[in-house]
Structure 1
Amino acid sequence: MRTVRVAIGIICESADTDRVLAVRRKRCGSHDLWEFPGGKIERGETAEQACVRELEEELHVHVGDLRDIYTVEYSYPKYHLSMRCFLCTIKSGCLAMTEQIEIRWVERASLSELCWLAANSDLIEVLQSCSLKSRKSATGQVEHYEDGEVRGNLQDEMIRRRAATRKTMQANKRSDTKPELLVRKRLRKAGLTGYRLQWRDAPGRPDIAFPGRRIAIFVNGCFWHRCPHCNPGVPKHNVEFWQAKFRRNIERDARAITELRALGWQAITIWECELADARIEATMARVIDTIRNARRSS
């Protein structure tokens, strides 16, 4: 299993909010790639305190108006990165390089012209989508631009996206989903009762388990578990986050099935699309036959 590295990324806005600060560090194999200032949270400090400390140590500047706006989730080959991103402004100090090869103020609209570390790709897209048109007036009102659009500012847009992602994930029920209820109804109709729900004593915590027959049933949502039959799409925003989430789900599913087989269990995966009206009869006939033919353990 890959380790998880927790980090912070700091997006420093210029006074007119149209530019952000980018840096290139002296990194092995990636010194040509751009990123945002940041680093690791040290023991005993908050993420906000880490932002202030990192910028003082690395760039010799003092910042203010720190706002927690986004979280990057990205899986590299050897580890998974979870990076909290903060928006801020520089209050005092003179930019100086310590571990950097180059420091540059970059127009938001031009961010994609630079070569960035892979984990920053979705964040760059969000920053660009909120350029210029997103600025608020001194009175706090959203300004209207020549194309007539009204856009929320950068902070509002990123917080909105993060809230939308959280709402979507919270709506994903752990148990008693509609597909599960359909499967259980068909099992009871076939006289197959005595099963356990969300059974913790079996690897992967199967949605439905027959311990005596050593049968574990997983009723998987096509979107969350990436169905191989209907190939569900990927959200267009925060793509790296969703891809990392899906990879972890797939890896966890595969690990559970491997562990079940090692214990002599038979794992059955039922996909949500297999329970559609045109397919449910064939799907449940297959599942019921498998359960009935399973030899009971002594």
Structure 2
Amino acid sequence: MKKIITVIGAIIENENKEILCALRSPKMSLPNHWEFPSGKLEKGEGYKEAVEREIKEQLNCSIEFINVVKYNTQEYHDFMMTLVTVKCKLVSGIPNSKEHSKLLWLNKEYLPSLKWINANIPTVDLLAVQ
């Protein structure tokens, strides 16, 4: 049986209602694909605590959890991942990634123009029509 992990993906909006997109580096699994900044849900954490902690660690900025947008389960070669995408608001700081090759603020309607990891595509499709 494949390992199952839960990942929280942050749909971070800025004051212009643009969404933060992160390009996975060549050193990461699924390289050169876009994703919503994300991290694993740790034991005992809720979605709010997990996403706020992960974004602080990864992007050195503070966000505020607003609500859950979508659940999506995706099968990969050696594991199953449930991606919970959550809407967040940038509260303070400027996102600066240590892991990703690039960060990009993009209007919702342009999200489908990027090459996304499969787990993020249902959320991208949902956001693009809102």
Q: TM-score, normalised by structure 1?
A: 0.41
Report the Cα distance in structure 1 between the residues aligned to 2:29 and 2:84, rounded to whole angstroms: 24
Report the Cα distance in structure 2 between the residues aligned to 1:65 and 1:10, rounded to whole angstroms: 9
Higher percent of residues as helix: 1
Report the Cα distance in structure 2 between the residues aligned to 1:99 and 1:123, rounded to whole angstroms: 22
Q: 2:40 is matched with which residue?
A: 40
Report the AA paired with residue 24 of structure 1. L
Matched, 1:93 2:93: yes
Q: 2:19 is matched with which residue?
A: 20
List per-residue Cα deviations over 1:102-124 (Å, max 9, x = no partner). 00001111111111101111111
Q: For 1:112, what is the secondary structure of its paired residue? A: helix
Q: 1:6 is matched with which residue?
A: 6
The structure with more radius of gyration: 1
Q: 1:108 is matched with which residue?
A: 108
Q: 1:121 is matched with which residue?
A: 121
Report the Cα distance in structure 1 between the residues aligned to 2:53 and 2:29, rounded to whole angstroms: 26
Higher percent of residues as strand: 2
Question: Quick check: 2:48–2:65 contact (8 Å CA) kept in 1?
Answer: no
Q: Please state how far the C-alpha of 1:92 moved relative to its aligned partner.
A: 0.6
Report the Cα distance in structure 1 between the residues aligned to 2:128 and 2:67, rounded to whole angstroms: 18
Q: Please state how far the C-alpha of 1:65 moved relative to its aligned partner.
A: 4.5
Q: Which has the higher contact order (CA 8 A, sep 6+)?
A: 2
RMSD of aligned alpha carbons: 1.5
- How many residue pairs were aligned? 129
Where does the alignment leave 5 or more consecutive residues of structure 2 unmatched?
A: none
List, as ranges, runs of 4+ consecutive aligned residues in structure 1 with deviation greater than 6 Å: none
Q: 1:227 is matched with which residue?
A: none
Q: Please state how far the C-alpha of 1:66 moved relative to its aligned partner.
A: 2.3
Q: Percent identity?
A: 26
Report the Cα distance in structure 1 between the residues aligned to 2:51 and 2:30, rounded to whole angstroms: 22
Q: Please state how far the C-alpha of 1:4 moved relative to its aligned partner.
A: 1.2
Report the Cα distance in structure 1 between the residues aligned to 2:30 and 2:23, rounded to whole angstroms: 9
Aligned residue runs from structure 1 range 121-270, under 5 A: 121-130=121-130
Q: TM-score, normalised by structure 2?
A: 0.90
Report the Cα distance in structure 2 between the residues aligned to 1:29 and 1:38, rounded to whole angstroms: 13
Q: For 2:34, what is the secondary structure of its paired residue? A: coil
Q: Please state how far the C-alpha of 1:31 moved relative to its aligned partner.
A: 2.2
Report the AA paired with residue 48 of structure 2. E
Matched, 1:51 2:51: yes
Report the Cα distance in structure 2 between the residues aligned to 1:101 and 1:95, rounded to whole angstroms: 13
Report the Cα distance in structure 2 between the residues aligned to 1:65 and 1:116, rounded to whole angstroms: 23
Question: Quick check: 2:112–2:124 contact (8 Å CA) kept in 1?
Answer: yes
Q: 1:82 is matched with which residue?
A: 82
List per-residue Cα deviations over 1:129-148 (Å, max 9, x = no partner). 11xxxxxxxxxxxxxxxxxx
Question: Quick check: 2:20–2:103 contact (8 Å CA) kept in 1?
Answer: yes
List per-residue Cα deviations over 1:49-97 (Å, max 9, x = no partner). 0111111111111112421221111122322111111101101112212
